[in-house]
Amino acid sequence: MSYLIKPYQKIQGILNLAGDKSISHRAVILSSIAEGKTLIKNFSFSDDCKATLKAFKTLGVNIKKKNKDSLIVYGRGVFGLKKPKQTINLEESGTSTRILVGLLSAQNFSSKLDGKEPLRKRPMLRIVHPLRLMGAKIKAKVKNKDEYLPILISPNRLKSLSWRMSIPSAQVKSAILLAGLYAKGRTKVYEPVKSRDHTERMLKLFGANIEVKAKSIYISPSSLISPKKIYIPSDISSASFFIVLACLLNNSCIRINNLGLNPSRCGVIDVLKGMGAHIRIICKEKGHFEPIGDVIVRSSKLNGVIVSEDIIPRLIDELPILMVAASLARGKSVFKGIGELRVKETDRINSMVKNLSNMGVKIEMVVKKGKEVMTINGVNNLNGGLLKSFGDHRTAMSLIVAALLADSPSRIDDIKCISKSFPNFFKILGQILR
Ligand code: S3P
């Protein structure tokens, strides 16, 4: 079934969004292996985070939903997880899978992980390889020089590792850090380009023996103590769709409350500001384990922008919506070194090029010195059309924003995928469309 999206004139209002997906995963994971119970507020009840919840229930953790946006996790301590009675089904969640493989490699029981077809296509060698160097016994499906789910883990005592990240990836880093929490000795992860640091921040909050020095992170075995209560800031990736929409519609103004403003995730705001966006940040709660603030966005005239490779990890999930912004900006935009987009839920380069080209945008992809570079020449109007999400949540929401900005109605083929990260997307949109 396809869905009709009609162009809109303006948005206005105050938004309270669900908690950040990345931070929600980590809150459940660390609360589960901590001493004591943890109340997690503003949790993201997205499909992916629900997969993490289900996995830890399978691992013997008692987790109770308290109300529509909070839950209580009864921690079992670092050695308290139970051998799962069945295969751990991670549905479509890449983050849950990759981080869990790190954690489960260090347990004294065996486990099997699997997921739905799209997850079975996500490359796992990036985590499996460093974990094996730590002594992890992992069997995965080998295909085309990479490894994939289903994964079978057998118990083994891990040793520490000094690892230099070859691609910036918070999932890989987190898998190694969680394995390092159990490994003999001090594990080091060196990141030439920093990826999101939610795991490091949360490990500190739980009292882990972790130290961050410039681009290096060190972790040694330690127990974790629940901070009792965690408030998850709202998800900047979800917010980015409305931020771009508010910029590009006339007479629009929105305020997003309690937004996660972690510098390792704020690339989208920096790039939009560089394009001329009127974005005001009201910082608050400086003592919170994650920076948090309110953000006010007003209609803006956007100009083209050069997005360099080193900022990509700070906005990797926001690239599709930034491509929409670039499509309606004045002049040329260039996105450098975006190859990792090909191995997200779907090949987001392919899907955004196809859809935006259909809407009348001139996009070009070239490979320069082995790096993928996209050039977008901004247009004055987007044509409505037949849009394809390819079953990818971020592609779907980016295209819906493009359709709302177009000069004629559009149809999009599949929007069910949106619940992967943002089940309330349409409800929130309905609240601010004027
Ligand atoms: C995530 C890390 C990023 C991001 C993903 C969530 C995380 O992936 O794209 O949506 O929560 O750690 P990579 O680690 O593959 O860069």
Residues 366-384 pLDDT 10s: 999 999 999 999 999 999 9
Q: What pLDDT sits at residue 1? A: 81
Both structure tokens of 427? 């409800």
What is the atom index within ligand 1 of the atom nearest the CA of 21? 11
How many separate domains does the chain show? 2
The yes-or-no answer on residue 235 being catalytic is no
CATH number of 135's domain: 3.65.10.10
Whether residue 13 sits in one domain with residue 25: no
> Strand ranges (DSSP E) for 70-170?
70-74, 88-89, 111-114, 137-143, 146-154, 162-164
Residue 299: give the domain boundaries.
3-17+233-432
- Residue 389 pLDDT class (50, 70, 90 cuts): very high
66 in a structural domain: yes
- Residue 336 pLDDT class (50, 70, 90 cuts): very high
Q: What pLDDT sits at residue 258? A: 96
Element housing 369 (H / E)? none
Whether residue 213 sits in one domain with residue 272: no
- The residue annotated as part of the active site, out of 48, 317, 413, 414, is 317
Q: Which residues line ligand 1 (CB under 6 A)?
A: 22, 95, 169-171, 174, 195-196, 316-317
355 in a structural domain: yes
Report whether pLDDT(334) > 80: yes
Whether residue 200 sits in one domain with residue 321: no
Report whether pLDDT(287) > 90: no
Whether residue 273 sits in one domain with residue 306: yes
- The CB density around residue 282, as the number of other CB atoms within 10 Å, is 11
Instruction: List the 146-154 sheet strands across, edge first.
Output: 88-89, 111-114, 146-154, 137-143
Reduce the DSSP state of residue 278 to 3 states and report it. Answer: strand
Yes or no: say if 326 and 378 are a contact pair by the CB < 8 Å rule.
Answer: yes
Bridge partners (DSSP) listed for residue 138: 153
- The CB density around residue 252, as the number of other CB atoms within 10 Å, is 22
Point out the least confidently predicted range of 248-257, 286-295, 369-378. 286-295
d(CA 331, CA 302) in angstroms, rounded, equals 9
d(CA 346, CA 92) in angstroms, rounded, equals 12
Report whether pLDDT(411) > 90: yes
- The CB density around residue 283, as the number of other CB atoms within 10 Å, is 11
Q: What pLDDT sits at residue 326? A: 98
Q: Report yes or no on whether pTM surpasses 0.75.
A: yes
Of 30, 46, 47, 169, best ligand 1 pocket probe by most atoms within 8 Å of the beta carbon: 169
Bridge partners (DSSP) listed for residue 15: 256
Whether residue 155 sits in one domain with residue 66: yes
Report whether pLDDT(282) > 80: yes
Gap between the terminal Cα atoms of the chain: 26
227 in a structural domain: no
Among 222, 244, 270, give the residue marking a domain's end.
222
Whether residue 121 sits in one domain with residue 96: yes
Whether residue 376 sits in one domain with residue 270: yes
Using alpha carbons, select from 30, 21, 32 the residue that is nearest to residue 59: 32
Q: Cα 375 vs. chain centroid, distance in angstroms?
A: 24
Whether residue 25 sits in one domain with residue 10: no
Report whether pLDDT(285) > 90: no
d(CA 50, CA 93) in angstroms, rounded, equals 9
228 in a structural domain: no
Q: What pLDDT sits at residue 429? A: 97
Element housing 173 (H / E)? helix 170-180
d(CA 155, CA 81) in angstroms, rounded, equals 13
